[in-house]
Structure 1
Amino acid sequence: MAMSSILNTDDIKKALDAFAVADSFDHKKFFEMVGLNAKSSDDVKKVFTVLDADNSGFIEEEELKFVLKGFAKDGRDLTDKETKAFLQAADKDGDGKIGVDEFTALVKE
């Protein structure tokens, strides 16, 4: 499933452009810019499924690094600092990965 079937392609491009510089990524602003925080829980879960590249049911730290590429192929990789901050914000149970409920809660914050 492509992100463009869930989110507006122009919104995705604007959000990726806004965070094109290393260490500028802010998940709250990004989710707002792409319109994800206004989507239904079902749509948020679909986005989670796209970002869960290995279909493990979790987004692990290694997958988080490539989260912007999940929205568009030309998205940049997150820096280690951004990846760790994103993981820390979402990983409420401290298991080192993000489950679908944790992701949904983060998006809806």
Structure 2
Amino acid sequence: MAMTDLLSAEDIKKAVGAFSAAESFNYKKFFEMVGLKKKSPEDVKKVFHILDKDQSGFIEEEELKFVLKGFTPEGRDLSDKETKALLAAGDKDGDGKIGADATLASESC
């Protein structure tokens, strides 16, 4: 399954472009711009599984660094600071990874 099976290619392009500058990533605005806020919990989980490159059931810090590339190959890598901020927002139990049940993409975008 491709990200564009769930989200608009145009919305993805605009969202990735909006955060192309280093240290500009805001996960709440990004997830809103790509349309995740309007998606069902099932669709959000499908997006999660696309981003979970090693299919471990978790998105670890190393995978988060490449989250924009998970939406489109033209996306940039997140900085260490941006990656850590995104992990802190989604890691509800403090285990250093985000589980499929995390509501990072759908909560208060």
Into which bin does the TM-score normalised by the smaller protein fall? Answer: over 0.9
Cα RMSD (Å): 0.5
Bigger proportion of residues as helix: 1
Q: By how many angstroms is 1:106 displaced?
A: 1.3
How far apart in 2 are the matches of 1:68 and 1:108?
17
| Residues 12-91 of structure 1: pairs in structure 2 closer than 5 A | 12-91=12-91
Letter in 1 for 2:98: I
Tell me the TM-score normalized by structure 2. 0.97
Q: By how many angstroms is 1:7 displaced?
A: 0.1
Structure 1 residues not aligned, in runs of 5+:
none
**Contact residue 44 and residue 106 of structure 2 kept, 8 A:** no
Tell me the TM-score normalized by structure 1. 0.97
Q: By how many angstroms is 1:108 displaced?
A: 1.7
**Contact residue 23 and residue 79 of structure 2 kept, 8 A:** yes
Deviations 1:49-78 (A, max 9, x none): 000000000000000000000000110000
How far apart in 2 are the matches of 1:43 and 1:101?
12
Is the partner of 1:95 in helix, strand or coil?
Answer: coil
Task: Give the count of matched residue pairs.
Answer: 107
Structure 2 residues not aligned, in runs of 5+:
none
